Amino acid sequence: MTGPRQRPYTRRVSTATDVDVTARARDLLGVSRLTNSALTGWLHGLPGVDQVGCEARAAGLSTRSIKTSSKAWAIDLAISMIDLTTLEGADTPGKVRGLATRALVPDPTAPDTPSPAAVCVYGDMVGIAKETLGDSGVKVAAVATAFPSGRASRAVKLADTRDAVAAGADEIDMVIDRGAFLAGDYLSVFREIAETKEACGDARLKVIMETGELVTYDNVRRASWLSMLAGGDFVKTSTGKISPAATLPVTLTMLEAVRDWHDLTGEQVGVKPAGGIRTSKDAIRYLVTVHEIAGEAWLDNHWFRFGASSLLNDLVLQRQRMATGAYSGADYVADDAPSAY
């Protein structure tokens, strides 16, 4: 069976890795020098987002139901899109190893179950995860830049990033400085993202907006565009430490942003909702939204991820249910990280 797991990362569209983002930003904004006021004018010139209309659209998409054959495919796709995550102060090597092992064998009773895209850990656990995952194809993602608050000096944040990359992280999940964003210091946010991207080297950079702190969809849209302008490879909703974490309308707003960015620049940027997505039903709603808003090109774990810990369990349950025809139960899902949710 050719499942999403086997699909290698492909660069169908160039990403910002090899461009000078500041030069490109000047070009896009039509200015000779990238200033905060130029960025402000550009971001505030984006169309607004009407909360009620946006939420109504998301609710409408939630009522779609998909074919059984598509559902089986969608469940495997969703599993393959998971960044299996543990981000606790109590994380131990044992827990991280368990999680990584789980990523390699999501369901011992069904070896054809695809692996999640990545295991997502704190920077000091990258080495441990890497040991287990080796060259399995499952990536190691590390949160960095003084996650989750982002309240540290630029130097510390960049060191945090370099440290994780040096330890073998394939992907970096950074947080933006929400304080700077809300204070209107967009240039600072831009620079921090650009510098972090540079520090990433070959690692892909996911930029966490922490939308629960940005509050409005207008801010979500502006922060998404700012991140893309600064060279982020993914826009990501949340740290999982703040409520609300990912919501469907927030993700929809981000999907509109990456779609429109692609229209504008030809570049494809990924989207990662994180936190609060626990059930297969939720996951499929997100996939429907990806499909209708951004389009099929994003239905791939190179371009869409779920930041989740317990979602895998429910997807495996549903997978078993589809295989056996009977409803399954938690006792039939091997869980190496029962404390993670």
Residue 280 beta carbon to other proteins: minimum distance, rounded to whole angstroms: 15
| Residue with smaller CB distance to other proteins, 136 or 216 | 216
Q: Rounded to an integer, what distance in angstroms lies between the CA atom of residue 2 and that of residue 4?
A: 7
- Of 107, 160, 170, 173, the catalytic one is 173
Residue bearing tokens 């971001």:
43
Q: Rounded to an integer, what distance in angstroms lies between the CA atom of residue 163 and that of residue 182?
A: 28
Answer yes or no: 272 catalytic.
Answer: yes
Answer yes or no: 139 catalytic.
Answer: no
Q: Rounded to an integer, what distance in angstroms lies between the CA atom of residue 206 and that of residue 199?
A: 13
| Residue with smaller CB distance to other proteins, 41 or 53 | 53
Q: Rounded to an integer, what distance in angstroms lies between the CA atom of residue 272 and that of residue 303?
A: 8
Joined together, the tokens standing for residue 143 give: 């949160």
- Of 95, 160, 236, 300, the catalytic one is 236
Measured from the Cβ of residue 196, the count of other Cβ atoms closer than 10 Å reads 26
Residue 240 beta carbon to other proteins: minimum distance, rounded to whole angstroms: 22
Residue 67 beta carbon to other proteins: minimum distance, rounded to whole angstroms: 4
| Residue with smaller CB distance to other proteins, 70 or 339 | 70
Measured between alpha carbons, how far is residue 50 from residues 95, 246, 252 in Å?
43, 18, 12
- Asked if residue 8 has a cis previous peptide bond (ω within 30° of 0), the answer is no
Answer yes or no: 281 catalytic.
Answer: no
Q: Rounded to an integer, what distance in angstroms lies between the CA atom of residue 14 and that of residue 267?
A: 6
Measured between alpha carbons, how far is residue 226 from residues 187, 231, 305, 337 in Å?
9, 9, 20, 35
| Residue with smaller CB distance to other proteins, 199 or 294 | 294
| Residue with smaller CB distance to other proteins, 191 or 321 | 321
Residue 336 beta carbon to other proteins: minimum distance, rounded to whole angstroms: 30
Residue 179 beta carbon to other proteins: minimum distance, rounded to whole angstroms: 19
| Residue with smaller CB distance to other proteins, 207 or 294 | 294
- Provide the binding-site residues for other proteins, judged by CB under 8 A: 2, 47-54, 56-57, 63-71, 73-74, 215-217, 256, 287-288, 291-292, 296, 299
Element (H, E) at 191: helix 186-200
- Of 95, 130, 206, 272, the catalytic one is 272
Residue 48 beta carbon to other proteins: minimum distance, rounded to whole angstroms: 4
Joined together, the tokens standing for residue 20 give: 């000078």
Q: Rounded to an integer, what distance in angstroms lies between the CA atom of residue 221 and that of residue 259?
A: 12
Give the catalytic positions in this structure: 173, 236, 272
